[in-house]
Amino acid sequence: MSAVPQRRSGVGESVAGLLAALSIFVSLVGVAYRPARLIPAAVLLALFATAIGGRSSRLAAFAVGVGAVCFLIGMAVAVITNHPLY
Protein backbone atom coordinates (compact mmCIF):
# COMPACT_ATOMS: atom_id res chain seq x y z
CA MET A 1 0.00 0.00 0.00
CA SER A 2 1.29 3.40 -0.84
CA ALA A 3 -0.24 6.54 0.49
CA VAL A 4 -0.03 9.84 -1.27
CA PRO A 5 0.97 12.55 1.17
CA GLN A 6 -1.50 15.38 1.37
CA ARG A 7 -0.19 18.82 0.73
CA ARG A 8 -0.78 21.14 3.65
CA SER A 9 -2.00 24.57 2.85
CA GLY A 10 0.23 27.38 4.00
CA VAL A 11 -0.63 30.45 5.93
CA GLY A 12 -0.39 32.53 2.77
CA GLU A 13 -3.20 30.60 1.12
CA SER A 14 -5.44 31.15 4.14
CA VAL A 15 -4.61 34.86 4.14
CA ALA A 16 -5.41 35.04 0.42
CA GLY A 17 -8.85 33.56 1.05
CA LEU A 18 -9.54 35.99 3.86
CA LEU A 19 -8.39 38.94 1.75
CA ALA A 20 -10.65 37.86 -1.10
CA ALA A 21 -13.65 37.49 1.22
CA LEU A 22 -12.92 40.86 2.82
CA SER A 23 -12.64 42.41 -0.63
CA ILE A 24 -16.08 41.12 -1.62
CA PHE A 25 -17.59 42.47 1.60
CA VAL A 26 -15.99 45.92 1.21
CA SER A 27 -17.08 46.07 -2.43
CA LEU A 28 -20.68 45.37 -1.51
CA VAL A 29 -20.58 47.96 1.29
CA GLY A 30 -19.04 50.44 -1.14
CA VAL A 31 -22.10 50.29 -3.38
CA ALA A 32 -24.14 51.95 -0.65
CA TYR A 33 -21.50 54.09 1.06
CA ARG A 34 -18.76 56.12 -0.65
CA PRO A 35 -17.97 54.00 -3.71
CA ALA A 36 -14.98 56.06 -4.90
CA ARG A 37 -13.25 55.59 -1.55
CA LEU A 38 -14.03 51.99 -0.62
CA ILE A 39 -14.20 50.01 -3.84
CA PRO A 40 -10.71 50.81 -5.20
CA ALA A 41 -9.28 49.64 -1.88
CA ALA A 42 -11.35 46.47 -2.17
CA VAL A 43 -10.06 45.83 -5.68
CA LEU A 44 -6.49 46.23 -4.40
CA LEU A 45 -7.19 43.66 -1.69
CA ALA A 46 -8.53 41.31 -4.34
CA LEU A 47 -5.45 41.83 -6.51
CA PHE A 48 -3.19 41.05 -3.54
CA ALA A 49 -5.19 37.87 -2.93
CA THR A 50 -4.83 36.96 -6.60
CA ALA A 51 -1.08 37.52 -6.45
CA ILE A 52 -0.78 35.22 -3.43
CA GLY A 53 -2.70 32.54 -5.29
CA GLY A 54 -3.09 29.11 -3.76
CA ARG A 55 -6.25 27.14 -3.35
CA SER A 56 -8.48 30.23 -3.26
CA SER A 57 -7.36 31.70 -6.57
CA ARG A 58 -10.86 31.32 -8.03
CA LEU A 59 -12.33 33.21 -5.08
CA ALA A 60 -9.77 35.97 -5.58
CA ALA A 61 -10.59 36.23 -9.28
CA PHE A 62 -14.28 36.37 -8.39
CA ALA A 63 -13.50 39.16 -5.90
CA VAL A 64 -11.84 41.22 -8.64
CA GLY A 65 -14.93 40.80 -10.82
CA VAL A 66 -17.27 41.70 -7.97
CA GLY A 67 -15.19 44.80 -7.30
CA ALA A 68 -15.42 45.93 -10.91
CA VAL A 69 -19.17 45.42 -11.09
CA CYS A 70 -19.74 47.07 -7.71
CA PHE A 71 -17.66 50.06 -8.81
CA LEU A 72 -19.87 50.62 -11.84
CA ILE A 73 -23.09 50.12 -9.91
CA GLY A 74 -21.94 52.19 -6.92
CA MET A 75 -20.88 55.13 -9.03
CA ALA A 76 -24.12 55.04 -10.98
CA VAL A 77 -26.21 54.87 -7.81
CA ALA A 78 -24.24 57.71 -6.20
CA VAL A 79 -24.63 59.96 -9.23
CA ILE A 80 -28.31 59.21 -9.73
CA THR A 81 -29.21 59.74 -6.06
CA ASN A 82 -26.88 62.75 -5.58
CA HIS A 83 -24.91 61.06 -2.81
CA PRO A 84 -21.23 61.92 -2.28
CA LEU A 85 -18.73 59.82 -4.22
CA TYR A 86 -15.94 60.07 -1.65
1 assigned to some structural domain? no
* Residue-level pLDDT at 8: 67
- Tell me the residue range of the domain where 64 lies: 12-80
pLDDT at 83 over 90: no
- Banded pLDDT at 1 (limits 50, 70, 90): low
86 assigned to some structural domain? no
Task: Report angle CA 68, 47, 30 to the nearest 5 degrees.
Answer: 40
75 assigned to some structural domain? yes
Split into its structural domains, the chain has a count of: 1
Let me know: does 52 contact 16? Beta carbons within 8 Å: yes
Q: At what angle do helices 57-80 and 35-52 cross, to 10 degrees?
A: 170
Q: Under DSSP, is residue 84 helix (H, G, I), strand (E, B) or coil?
A: coil
Q: What are the tens digits of pLDDT across the range 7-19?
A: 767 888 899 999 9
38 assigned to some structural domain? yes
Mean residue pLDDT of the chain comes to 90
pTM summary value: 0.86
Q: What are the tens digits of pLDDT across the range 44-69?
A: 999 999 999 888 899 999 999 999 99
